[in-house]
Structure 1
Amino acid sequence: MENNERGAIAPLTSYAEAVDWINGLIPFGIRPGLERIEALMEHFGHPHRRLKFVHVAGTNGKGSTCAFLTSVLIHNGYDVGTFTSPFITKFTNRFQYNGEDIPDETLLELSNRLRPVVKQLAATEMGSPTMFEVSTALAILYYADVCFPDVVIWETGLGGRMDVTNIVNPVLSVITNVGHDHMDILGDTLEKIATEKAGIIKPGVPVVTSVSQPEALNIIKQTAASRNSSCYAAGEKFFFQKVQTDDPMQKLHFQGPFREFDLSISLRGEYQLENAAGAFMALEVLRQYMAFQLEDDKIIEGFRSTFWAGRMELVQHTPRILIDGAHNPEGAAALAQSLSHDWQAKKIVLMMGMLSTKSHEDYLKHILPLVDELILTEPDFRKKMDAYALAEIVEGLRSIYAKDHLQITVQPDWQKALTEFKTLIGPDDLGVISGTLYLISDVRAQLLHQADSEKGW
């Protein structure tokens, strides 16, 4: 793996080596800016310019929206690339083609193409490309040189304007919503965060958004207007209503500029209705203006069959255990709403673990009023939040937000915490595991007995 006698880099020889090399770039951190990805793409002849992208940004709901779009397009006969992050089970999850992960050997081959170029760049004043920059470059090479999808569903990593994925010029942009997350990088107000998300809007390229806060929506609309981009905003250009039903599926009635439509989705959580409506509006734009051939019955089936791991996912029935990667205030509000409306339980037992890079008071204000027993733990990740520090925050909020009988357990070892958590859930109770996806991925793998699980950003 090291340099050989002539100074050339010996090739990586296995999938595990390739992933180790890419993850070895993590210490270079998150470095907003496009100069390194542009240099990488220039070396390979700008392969992204040969691809058709739908670019998806937002604080929450990006992954689910990408899943809806991918499923519907595949059902309609399109070959679809899907680039998302983080991954839940395996590193290859982030690079999918028609719902299947990139083959291990292809990831190895593309890593060996990228590695000498990354080394060259590292020696310049630009410095080494980051893990996410290399992953993004690998995705572009996979789609442009290996599998040639009709369209790539392209999720931002962080923000939008300075995010590595913003190197592409899409046929459509989608901004799911704006909330309080990554404020250390994106800004400390909704307006600043909205400005970063709106950075994916390209001249003349339409944008669909479900952003609801007036101050954030105004920025997105102003940005779209300044770039001559049509803006389809929820509550203005399209609307949806939840349809009450005894069916376990959620149903919604969509009203848009082109037609009305009824959809059913199997994803749990009322917030998924908003994601589904935004995805349907995006598909309507593709159908009306980009000549995508989409048949109604296949649209319906595509929405019905959409699955997204780790989001309001019932991973065990006896006792009932629900996992949800809510890790910011807006995600917590959506989880709390779903727990209040969609689940009957004698008591709710919650296990949670967080990263230290975020503020968790607002998250806890939404969740604590519903919880009877709380287990605080730590994800197996370098930026983990100390479980005892999290407990101090809970104690500070307890008298105002928590139930009088709330029981709190602190167990930093997530595996021991999971064992204890399972003993607390009775047959009429609901166990919920929430927080950072670094915890969710480990817990999910253990509960579903997935021996080959990896995890990461």
Structure 2
Amino acid sequence: MFNTYEEAVTWIHSRLRLGVKPGLKRMEWMMEKLGHPERRMKSIHIGGTNGKGSTLTYLRHILQESGCSVGTFTSPYFEQFNERIALNGVPIQDEDIVRLANDIYPLSVELEATDLGGPTEFEIITAMAMQYFGHVQPVDIVLFEVGLGGRFDSTNIIFPILSIITNIGLDHTGILGSTHAEIAFEKAGIIKPGTSIITAVKQEEAKKVIENKALEMKAPLYSLGSQFSIEGHHSTTTGEIFSQITPFRKWSHLEISMAGSHQTENASLALMAVELLNKYYSFLIEDEHIYSGLKKSYWPGRFETISMDPLIIIDGAHNEEGITALVNELNKRYSEKKIRIIFTALSDKKMDKMILNLDAAADKITFVSFDFPRAASAESLFSISQNENKHYAPNWKAAIDEEIHSLRSDEVLVITGSLYFLSEAKPYLSEAVNR
């Protein structure tokens, strides 16, 4: 058992060695032992390739504005491990982590001795979240972000009142499948019988999979571009403004502070969810809560401006779709500036198209690596690039320092790639800018 926060977190992280073990049997076993905390929560389940965290934060802010207490389960953390489990946006306390780890540890030991095998890191953290919101700190609603896929993801033991699938992209293809339809099949695994499903999936083959699954489950489907739509979108210096038409009404002049046309889609999913909560689940969320919540929403590492002078942006674009969205936004907002990019990624990602897109946008690109089990080497990333002004650096901190000190007023520095890297880089970057 654990006496300190450090001991508990070290044990949790030690389970990373087990990697990904798809399936729900271990989670079901632990929930049975814990008295089924997952059945004691009112929850919303959010899956998809990109945009899960942003959609969740729009929903959280709106719900909080209405006076709801909101639990969240997200991954990965950005600055502090405790962020994974949060109450009204505030990470749980260190002592809560110790208590929850001590609740799960004996189950992990017992499970290890069975044919199911021991739980993974993600399964342990998921079980901790279920225990916290089910037994320790009940809340009005919990927002659960899917970790990987959907059908066999550890979070898929919950019984949500709504489900959301943000979009489909070719990520984690070694696990989820190599086509949009195959990946959509895994994501659609979170659709539950009779439970409304909201989605912004665009590809026709993927949409068909979602539609068929919703029909099979008799789940009402609300699809962006069909049952609800965005219109009148334009970008501002501080974010985006758009209107939205739903089956129930038209919303005019919605304003968000996270930049990017893709963020209007994430916000529209949250707004559609709020309308369903009001209409079918007796929530009392007023118009002012929606407008205020959307505008206040912030999620770290999503086209986030770290400094205006010099101009530095970080963005957790870690797959092909994310890179495309980033490049589009850079072209739209900073076409008059030269673009310097620092990039790194995990080695299990498909790099070719990601780096090709970055090459096209960058006047200079520097590849780095970082201390993480699956991090790609700077040299391997460098070898893929075709940019004429490409570099690699063995020390990412030195690379950041060099770029900041030489950055001119007609240039923008963009640091992008793995969210695990950005979680390390952001605190250092904030210090470096102020030196």
TM-score, normalised via structure 1 length:
0.92
Q: How does 1:92-171 map to 2 (within 5 A)?
A: 92-171=82-161
The aligned residue for residue 348 of structure 1 is: 339
* 2:415 is the alignment partner of 1:433: yes
Taking only aligned residues, the RMSD between alpha carbons, in angstroms, comes to 1.3
1:5-48 CA distance string (max 9 Å, x none): xxxxxx21111111101001110111010000111100011111
1:418-449 CA distance string (max 9 Å, x none): 12222342122110000011211111021234
SS at match of 1:422: helix
The residue identity in structure 2 corresponding to 1:349 is R
- Give distance in 1, aligned partners of 2:298 and 2:348: 29
* 2:435 is the alignment partner of 1:444: no
Identity of aligned residues (%): 40
Q: 1:277 to 1:162 in 2, by over 3 A?
A: same
The aligned residue for residue 365 of structure 2 is: 374
* 2:395 is the alignment partner of 1:413: yes
The aligned residue for residue 281 of structure 1 is: 272
The aligned residue for residue 392 of structure 1 is: 383
The aligned residue for residue 256 of structure 2 is: 265
1:126-149 CA distance string (max 9 Å, x none): 111000000000001111112211
Q: How does 1:179-190 map to 2 (within 5 A)?
A: 179-190=169-180
The residue identity in structure 2 corresponding to 1:82 is T
CA drift at 1:345: 4.4
The aligned residue for residue 296 of structure 1 is: 287
The aligned residue for residue 233 of structure 2 is: 243
- Give distance in 1, aligned partners of 2:284 and 2:23: 36
- Give distance in 1, aligned partners of 2:224 and 2:255: 19
Among 29, 39, 42, the alignment partner of 1:52 is 42
- Give distance in 1, aligned partners of 2:194 and 2:338: 52
Q: Which runs of 5+ in 1 are unaligned?
A: 1-10, 451-457
The aligned residue for residue 453 of structure 1 is: none
SS at match of 1:154: strand
SS at match of 2:394: strand
- Give distance in 2, aligned partners of 1:349 and 1:181: 25
CA drift at 1:195: 0.1
1:283-331 CA distance string (max 9 Å, x none): 1111111111110011100000000001100112221110001011100
The aligned residue for residue 13 of structure 2 is: 23
SS at match of 1:218: helix
CA drift at 1:249: 3.3
SS at match of 2:341: strand
Among 322, 337, 340, the alignment partner of 2:328 is 337
Q: How many residues end up aligned between the 2 structures? A: 431
Q: How does 1:60-79 map to 2 (within 5 A)?
A: 60-79=50-69
The residue identity in structure 1 corresponding to 2:65 is H
Q: Which runs of 5+ in 2 are unaligned?
A: none
The residue identity in structure 1 corresponding to 2:69 is D
CA drift at 1:379: 2.3
- Give distance in 1, aligned partners of 2:149 and 2:305: 29
Q: Is the 8 A contact 2:400 2:429 kept in 1?
A: no
SS at match of 1:113: helix
The residue identity in structure 2 corresponding to 1:301 is S
- Give distance in 2, aligned partners of 1:124 and 1:329: 40
The aligned residue for residue 3 of structure 1 is: none
SS at match of 2:156: helix
- Give distance in 2, aligned partners of 1:32 and 1:230: 27
The residue identity in structure 1 corresponding to 2:409 is P
Among 79, 83, 102, the alignment partner of 1:89 is 79
CA drift at 1:248: 2.7
The residue identity in structure 2 corresponding to 1:346 is K
- Give distance in 2, aligned partners of 1:306 and 1:17: 34
The aligned residue for residue 200 of structure 1 is: 190
- Give distance in 1, aligned partners of 2:373 and 2:198: 36
CA drift at 1:73: 0.3
The aligned residue for residue 41 of structure 1 is: 31
- Give distance in 1, aligned partners of 2:94 and 2:225: 44
Q: Is the 8 A contact 1:349 1:424 kept in 2?
A: no
Q: Is the 8 A contact 1:375 1:421 kept in 2?
A: no
- Give distance in 1, aligned partners of 2:227 and 2:377: 45
Q: Is the 8 A contact 1:352 1:434 kept in 2?
A: yes
Q: 1:249 to 1:390 in 2, by over 3 A?
A: closer
